[in-house]
A and B are shown apart, each in its own frame.
Chain A
Amino acid sequence: MDLAFIVFLSSGLFLGWSLGANDAANVFGTAVGSRMLRFSTAAIVFAIFVILGAVVSGSGASHGLGELGSVNALGGSFTVALSAAITVYGMTKLTLPVSTTQAIVGGILGWNLFSATAINWSTLTKILGTWVACPILGAIFALTLYRMTALALRITKPHLLSLDQWTRVGLLIAGALGAYSLGANNIANVVGVFVPASPLTDIRVGGLFTLTGPQHLFLLGGLAIAVGAFFSRRVMMTVGKDIVAVGPVGGWVVVMAHALVLFVFSSQSLQSIVVDAGLPRIPLVPVSSSQAVVGAVCGLALARGFCGLRQIRWTVLRNIAVGWVATPVVAAVISYVALFFVQNVFEQVVYL
């Protein structure tokens, strides 16, 4: 692995670190914020499963993102990832809703425009569709899971203490699933743009299994996300306390719904099953983890009827819709300008 590649990859790894620091809270925020799990336990489980998800199942969403624009030069990959990181950082500073997924898509669109590569409108439409579908699906999953959980609790009537113990186990399993799905789905945001230009080759690990070039890259990205998770304590406590209003069992529903949404948009096996059943193909693209959580919380509120409906902060949903347009546009502009500078000032190849 040459030094230039590591330097170019740094923007992606930084993006991975910030994704880990922010999105680990979506997975374990409820459990840690409500003191059902220790932060150290949550961070370790998150780190293990996010890496597993990225390496084992990361190729689906990464391939989906590659269809939008195959960034074929390392300088371009670096600039696109950096533009996404700047967009996320800037919009977060301005307290505007932002998603890494939408920023990276904007960055790729900027590269497409700069390199005069035709935009694959069919793929772009699919991706935009998944952004809208993501919170809606989160709400549907949460509503269904809540109803099933409430029914199961009504039938089994567990003791408060037994419920507490089972909720802890449930939060740990849901968190592991959520981390795996996050790794599988969001690794495309972190290192997806580096895949076409990556010099990494297949390596055989201890004569047990082969790590392909892209998997090698996903492992590095996964490690960056995992490291970021260990810096997420404060975010976990903040997000956790916001979500904790739904209670530990409600929190479990939210985390499970979030994990299922990310799983749907990253599982190649599920895609094959759906296609074999003659149903429309599920696009495997990265979706926003935070928006899946917001959708799930709204689904939980809907499950509680009119009273719950009144508790929904509609401005949050409006801001998400605004973010669907604003984030990619801002990222595309930054990416276009940054590519111009990298190509003409730093004299780097940004496309072939």
Chain B
Amino acid sequence: MAELKISPFRTTKVLRTQIDELLDVVSKAALAYKQGMSRTVRAGWDDDAEERFEQISAFETRGDRLRDEIGQSLYAEMLLPDRSGDVLGLLGSLDRLLDDMEHSFVVMRIERPEIPAEFHDKWLECVALAADTVEQVVLAARSYFRDPQTARDHIHKIHFFEKETQLTALQIMEHVFRSDLALDRKMQIRGHVWLIHRLADLADDAGDALAIYAVKRSV
């Protein structure tokens, strides 16, 4: 039976729930990424890593679907006519973060690199910083929807965490290339560190875009 559309605010409520869910998905994916990467570096690719990979894949699929549904609703219902571009841009940035987290795991699953123990601490630090950058993007995005003035409180943290991730990634790569490892392993580790940094970099881009969206909203 066709659903009776009683309240004009019903679509808005559904959309709000979907946007909140997408933000939750990105936040959960960042936590799963951090846990999975830490586990893989210490114990190699095992069942737990496989489980994390499946979790992130599911988050990525859910994120894609949510973004499509939100985009369609915004246009079909002519909601946020002056802000729909910004909102879709933001959702696109969040989706790219999910894609990148999944991609990192896919590469890890295929290559299964062995990270020497001497690099573990820095590696885990780098992964945690990248995950924190993503987490701050989620917080800034939540602020954008509710209270754009406070989005700045999170955006400067995004930039800070991205810089820290970059610094740590560079330190790891310098140490790797000064070590006695074979060149093929050096190149492989560099590629994985690069992927971690790229996640933080994408989060930083999302932060830059959010800063502009927030200013536009408060004008």
Q: Which residues of A contact B (CB under 8 A)?
A: 34-36, 154, 157-162, 164-165, 244, 247-248
Contacts and interface: CB of A to CB of B under 8 A. Distances in A.
Given A159-B145, A160-B144, A247-B219, A35 B78 contact: yes
B87 A160 contact: yes
A160 B82 contact: no
B10 to A, nearest CB: 10
Secondary structure at chain A's binding surface: helix, strand, loop or mixed? helix
A248 B147 CA distance: 17
Contacts of A35: 78, 81
Contacts, number: 40
B219 A164 contact: no
B108 interface: no
Contacts of B16: 159, 161-162
Contacts of A154: 149
B184 to A, nearest CB: 50
Given A34-B82, A247-B82, A160 B145 contact: yes
B152 interface: no
B72 interface: no
Interface string B46-78: 000000000000000000000000000000001
A157 B147 contact: yes
B163 interface: no
A161 B80 contact: yes
Nearest to A35: B81
Nearest to B149: A154
Interface of B: 8-9, 12, 15-16, 19, 78-83, 87, 144-147, 149, 217, 219
A164 B15 CA distance: 12
18 contacts: A34-B82, A36-B81, A154-B149, A157-B147, A159-B145, A160-B83, A160-B145, A161-B12, A161-B15, A161-B79, A161-B80, A162-B9, A162-B12, A164-B80, A165-B9, A165-B12, A244-B82, A247-B82
A161 B79 CA distance: 8
A165 B8 contact: yes
A164 B145 contact: no
A172 to B, nearest CB: 11
Given A164-B12, A165-B12, A159 B80 contact: no
B217 A160 contact: yes
Nearest to A157: B147
- Enumerate the 5 nearest inter-chain pairs by beta-carbon distance, A residue then B residue, closest first: A35-B81, A161-B12, A157-B147, A160-B145, A165-B12
Contacts of B15: 161
A192 to B, nearest CB: 38
A161 B80 CA distance: 7
Contacts of A158: 146
